[in-house]
């Protein structure tokens, strides 16, 4: 009996290790979720801000790490008058053992890339009349794709509808052709498949977010002006001075948190064409650099807001019936009108927020919250509550 007891005592550590190994191999993300409160607490403790950052931004940044599954965060605030402030927390990889996140650490922008792309598209348009004329051009005419079309409504798509997510594409009702695993998207390489596209609604009658919208708009811009967006961004707008780059060239060194991601892990970038995805989601940078770039070119956001269309039904108080002014989603929150661009990419979340006076905020996070929209809702509510 004594020998059996001794054997049992000696076997306990082995059994614990075996069970831990089996659990890890069965569901690694579950183990990560069990351990995350420690990681998130340490990351929240590491939050540091510059002297110009409002106190509430520090609190919300810490909450992102502690409560919303994002172990590394950058947030930048720029007031309408140009006053800057920001906070960071977390580490690039292992807490305490890797480099701490800094305001200059490169992160993925996800769909906040659309802001950069839109700003580039407003360049070289000349007068307000020239801008409006370009928005009213028919896509198929600009890219020179004649019918017949499988869906005749394709011939009715205008550039302005692409830039305000009202062109007939809905990624929730049809396959998002830009992000099919291991499949090269047809846009921007050829426009011939436009003839075969089936739209999910008649252009100009509804709002529905679509990544292909910005890819097509980028092609149309180049066909119209003879200059690519990338030439405009690199040469004319010198986006590199703001720390902005293309994910295909310079990825982030941050280890993103996939504990709520049921399919992809850190290897996911290899499965997509980041050259094709530059316009809708394929850029990198840091929160303060992006915020400065946006503030520097805030007249482009005014052009977006002027694209408001009263004829498309929507409800700014109901996220299920989104309203878009240009590419910016308009929301009524706590009695205030806000505009936003949300960003999601596997293992990360981001948001851009702006109010009527022109105060703006950029947040880049290294994780997904559960539910996915929870982190963005927290930033939106806090921004509405505290920004004067």
pLDDT digits (tens, 9 = 90+) for 202-225: 999 999 999 999 999 999 999 999
pLDDT beyond 90 at 38: yes
* Residue, of 99 and 28, whose pLDDT is higher: 99
Is the backbone of residue 345 left (phi > 0), alpha (psi -120 to 50) or beta? beta
Same domain, 295 and 381: yes
pLDDT beyond 70 at 21: no
pLDDT band at 25 (very low <50, low <70, confident <90, very high): low
318, 275 contact by CB (below 8 A) = no
Work out whether the CA dihedral 80, 84, 233, 155 comes out positive or negative.
negative
- Does residue 101 fall inside a structural domain? no
- Does residue 114 fall inside a structural domain? no
pLDDT beyond 70 at 241: yes
Please name which of 164, 112, 144 lies closest in space to residue 283, comparing C-alpha atoms: 112
pLDDT digits (tens, 9 = 90+) for 285-326: 999 999 999 999 999 999 999 999 999 999 999 988 999 999
What value does the mean pLDDT take over residues 151-164? Answer: 97
Other Cβ atoms within 10 Å of 112 Cβ, number? 25
pLDDT digits (tens, 9 = 90+) for 332-378: 999 999 999 999 999 999 999 999 999 999 999 999 999 999 999 99
Same domain, 135 and 247: no
- Does residue 140 fall inside a structural domain? yes
Same domain, 197 and 309: no
Cα separation, 279 vs 275, whole angstroms: 9
Beta-bridge partners for 74: 88, 364
Q: Which residues contact 20 (CB under 8 A, 6 or more apart)?
A: none
Same domain, 216 and 252: no
What value does the mean pLDDT take over residues 60-69? Answer: 98
What range does the domain containing 76 cover?
A: 43-95+240-271+282-386
- Does residue 299 fall inside a structural domain? yes
Cα separation, 189 vs 195, whole angstroms: 15
Coil, strand or helix at 257: strand
Give 200-203's long-range contacts (Cβ < 8 A, gap of 24+): 200/168, 200/169, 200/170, 200/173, 200/174, 201/168, 201/170, 202/153, 202/156, 202/168, 203/153, 203/156, 203/157, 203/158, 203/161, 203/166, 203/167, 203/168
Other Cβ atoms within 10 Å of 83 Cβ, number? 11
206, 158 contact by CB (below 8 A) = no
pLDDT digits (tens, 9 = 90+) for 351-363: 999 999 999 999 9
- Does residue 133 fall inside a structural domain? yes
Same domain, 205 and 174: yes
Please name which of 55, 35, 47 lies closest in space to residue 72, comparing C-alpha atoms: 47
Helix axes 298-305 and 287-296, enclosed angle (nearest 10): 70
Q: Which residues contact 195 (CB under 8 A, 6 or more apart)?
A: 145, 147, 148, 149, 150, 154
pLDDT digits (tens, 9 = 90+) for 115-124: 999 999 999 7
pTM strictly above 0.75: yes
Q: How many domains does the chain have?
A: 2
What value does the mean pLDDT take over residues 68-87? Answer: 97
Helix axes 55-67 and 28-45, enclosed angle (nearest 10): 160
pLDDT band at 9 (very low <50, low <70, confident <90, very high): low
């Amino acid at each position: 009996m004594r020998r059996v007891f001794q054997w049992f005592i000696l076997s306990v550590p082995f059994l614990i290790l075996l069970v831990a190994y089996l659990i890890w191999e069965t569901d690694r993300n579950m183990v990560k979720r069990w351990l995350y409160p420690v990681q998130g607490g340490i990351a929240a403790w590491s939050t540091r801000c510059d002297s110009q950052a409002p106190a509430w931004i520090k609190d919300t940044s810490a909450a992102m790490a502690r409560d919303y599954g994002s172990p590394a965060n950058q947030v930048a605030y720029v007031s309408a008058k140009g006053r800057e402030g920001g906070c960071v927390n977390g580490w690039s990889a292992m807490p305490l053992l890797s480099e701490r996140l800094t305001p200059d650490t490169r992160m993925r922008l996800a769909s906040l890339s659309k802001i950069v792309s839109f700003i580039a598209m407003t360049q070289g348009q000349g007068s307000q009349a020239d801008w409006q004329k370009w928005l009213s051009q028919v896509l198929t005419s600009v890219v020179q794709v004649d019918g017949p079309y499988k869906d005749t409504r394709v011939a009715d798509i205008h550039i302005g509808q692409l830039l305000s997510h009202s062109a007939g594409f809905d990624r929730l009702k049809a396959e998002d052709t830009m992000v099919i695993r291991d499949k090269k998207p047809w846009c921007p390489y050829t426009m011939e498949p436009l003839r075969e596209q089936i739209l999910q609604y008649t252009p100009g009658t509804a709002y529905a977010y679509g990544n292909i919208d910005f890819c097509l708009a980028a092609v149309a811009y180049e066909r119209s002006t003879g200059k690519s967006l990338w030439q405009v961004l690199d040469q004319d707008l010198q986006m590199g001075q703001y720390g902005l780059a293309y994910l295909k060239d310079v990825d982030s060194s941050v280890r993103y948190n996939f504990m709520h991601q049921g399919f992809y892990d850190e290897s996911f970038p290899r499965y997509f064409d980041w050259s094709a995805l530059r316009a809708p989601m394929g850029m990198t940078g840091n929160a303060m650099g992006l915020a400065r770039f946006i503030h520097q070119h805030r007249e482009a956001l005014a052009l977006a807001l002027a694209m408001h269309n009263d004829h498309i039904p929507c409800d700014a108080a109901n996220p299920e019936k989104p309203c878009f002014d240009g590419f910016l989603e308009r929301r009524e929150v706590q009695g205030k009108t806000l505009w936003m661009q949300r960003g999601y990419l596997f293992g990360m979340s981001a948001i851009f927020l702006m109010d009527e006076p022109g105060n703006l905020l950029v947040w880049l996070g290294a994780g997904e919250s559960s539910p996915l929209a929870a982190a963005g809702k927290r930033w939106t509510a806090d921004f509405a509550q505290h920004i004067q």
